[in-house]
């Protein structure tokens, strides 16, 4: 099971700082001569990350493997419980990333459902390729959510997201989705700049003045560490 590398892949560069610096970051984007504007209304982003029982995706990320994939079910909006969204396979090859996205038209959760029932509903609404990914990664590990703002240059070739208010909920060994007891997380602000590889030179020029440090940041890894307590 090895999804091919698409012709168009994007480069992603992440910057991490404390949420305290949000006003300064917003001002930097507002005043930047590249002309960043809001490209989409801000919204809550919710993801359940699935992994193997041996935490393969987690271990590959920790090891910095050049080829790695993550499986997550993502939906948008204020609901912390799974609603209609998409199963996403997030692929990474060295510095470049892309996603395979499989839409789910009906919410896979109803009041009182157990995780086993949520998985069965997901499987029933997905094509065979997506079902295979979920079968190989059957273990719901964490539910992660955050508030995301979207920016882009006027030509849309460089896109930025700004994530705040991140929360993580432990799903390990839970019969039903846990959306009540959040793990302890630092109040981090994550800026991610996304662009096609042909825009690398322009992107480097733009981000050189961003007052935030470049850093590796995986919400999945941070979430797993938080629920494990290390």
Residue with more model confidence, 132 or 200 = 132
Distance CA 109, CA 121 (A): 8
Per-residue b or e along 188-199, where b marks 16 or more CB atoms closer than 10 Å to that residue's CB: bbbbbbbbeeeb
Q: Residue 8: is its pLDDT beyond 70?
A: no
Q: Residue 81: is its pLDDT beyond 80?
A: yes
Pairing between strand 188-196 and 37-51?
unpaired
Among residues of the chain, what percentage have pLDDT more than 70? 96
Stretch 158-186: mean pLDDT:
94
Helices and strands (H and E) in the chain: how many: 6, 9
**pTM, two decimal places:** 0.92
**211 is in which domain, residue-wise?**
10-228
Residue with more model confidence, 226 or 146 = 146
| Structural domains in the chain (count) | 1
Q: Residue 1: is its pLDDT beyond 80?
A: no
Pairing between strand 10-18 and 96-103?
antiparallel
Mean pLDDT, the chain, as a whole number? Answer: 90
Q: Is residue 5 part of a domain?
A: no
Which of the four pLDDT bands, split at 50, 70 and 90, describes residue 230? low
Q: Is residue 185 part of a domain?
A: yes
Q: Is residue 1 part of a domain?
A: no
Q: Which residues pair with 47 in a beta bridge?
A: 74, 144
Give the per-residue pLDDT at 6: 57
Distance CA 230, CA 216 (A): 17
Distance CA 93, CA 214 (A): 19
CA–chain centroid gap for 176, Å, is 22
Q: Is residue 43 part of a domain?
A: yes
Q: Residue 7: is its pLDDT beyond 60?
A: no
Q: Residue 83: is its pLDDT beyond 80?
A: yes
CATH number at residue 102: 3.20.100.30
Q: Return the structure tokens found at 125.
A: 């609404």
Distances (CA, A) of 87 to 34, 76, 120, 151: 34, 12, 13, 24
Contact assessment for residue 163 and residue 147, using Cβ atoms and an 8 Å cutoff: yes
Contact assessment for residue 29 and residue 39, using Cβ atoms and an 8 Å cutoff: no
Which of the four pLDDT bands, split at 50, 70 and 90, describes residue 189? very high
Q: Residue 72: is its pLDDT beyond 70?
A: yes
Q: Is residue 3 part of a domain?
A: no
Q: Residue 25: is its pLDDT beyond 60?
A: yes
Helices 56-63 and 219-228 cross at an angle (nearest 10°) of 110
Q: Is residue 117 part of a domain?
A: yes
Q: Is residue 144 part of a domain?
A: yes
């Amino acid at each position: 099971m090895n999804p091919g590398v698409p012709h168009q892949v994007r480069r992603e560069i992440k910057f991490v700082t404390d949420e305290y610096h949000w006003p300064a970051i917003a001002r930097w984007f507002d005043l930047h001569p590249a002309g960043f504007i809001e490209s989409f209304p801000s919204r809550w982003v919710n993801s359940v990350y699935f992994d193997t029982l041996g935490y393969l995706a987690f271990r590959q990320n920790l090891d910095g493997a050049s080829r790695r994939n993550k499986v997550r079910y993502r939906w948008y909006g204020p609901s912390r419980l799974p609603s209609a969204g998409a199963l996403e396979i997030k692929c990474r090859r060295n510095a470049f990333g892309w996603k395979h996205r499989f839409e789910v038209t009906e919410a896979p959760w109803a009041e009182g459902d157990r995780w086993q029932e949520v998985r069965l509903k997901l499987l029933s609404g997905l094509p065979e390729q997506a079902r295979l990914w979920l079968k190989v990664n059957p273990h719901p590990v964490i539910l992660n959510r955050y508030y995301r703002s979207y920016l882009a240059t006027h030509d849309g070739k460089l896109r930025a997201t700004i994530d705040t208010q991140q929360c993580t909920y432990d799903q390990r060994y839970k019969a039903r989705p846990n959306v009540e007891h959040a793990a302890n997380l630092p109040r981090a602000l994550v800026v991610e700049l996304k662009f096609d590889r042909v825009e690398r030179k322009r992107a480097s020029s733009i981000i050189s003045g961003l007052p935030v440090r470049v850093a590796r940041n995986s919400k999945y890894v941070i979430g797993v560490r938080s629920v494990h307590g290390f």
